[in-house]
Amino acid sequence: MALFYILLIFMVIAAIIAVETKDLLSAVICVGAIGFGGSLMFLLLRAPDIAMTQIVVEVLGLVILIRATISRDLTFISGDREFFGTVASVVILFLVFMAGMRICDTLPEFGDPVFTQRPEAASQTYIAKGLSDTGATNIVTSIYLDYRAYDTLGEATVLFTAVIGATAILRSRSRKRLEDPEL
Partner 1 sequence: MTVIVKTVSSWVKVLIFLFGIYTILFGHLTPGGGFAGGVILASSYVLLMLAFGRTFVAANLPRSLASRLDCLGAFLFALIAILGLVCGGTFFVNFLYQRYAPGTPFALVSAGTIPLSNMAIGVKVGASLFLVILTLAAFRAESQEPTERDLADPGVGGKE
By CB under 8 A, tell whether 128 contacts partner 1: no
Whole-angstrom CA distances from 106 to 50, 92, 94, 95, 99 are 21, 22, 19, 17, 11
Q: Which is nearer to partner 1, 118 or 177 (CB)?
A: 177
In angstroms, rounded to a whole number, what is the distance separating the alpha carbons of residues 168 and 132?
Answer: 45
By CB under 8 A, tell whether 156 contacts partner 1: yes
By CB under 8 A, tell whether 6 contacts partner 1: no
Q: Which x/- pattern, by CB under 8 A, does the window 52-91 give for partner 1?
A: ----------------------------------------
For residue 129, the one-letter residue type is K
Q: Which is nearer to partner 1, 10 or 147 (CB)?
A: 147
Question: Concatenated DSSP letters for 100-128?
Answer: HHHHHHHSPPTT--TTTS-TTSHHHHHHH
In angstroms, rounded to a whole number, what is the distance separating the alpha carbons of residues 58 and 55?
Answer: 5
Binding site for partner 1 (CB under 8 A): 131, 133-138, 140-142, 144-146, 149-150, 152-153, 155-156, 159-160, 162-163, 166-167, 170-172, 183
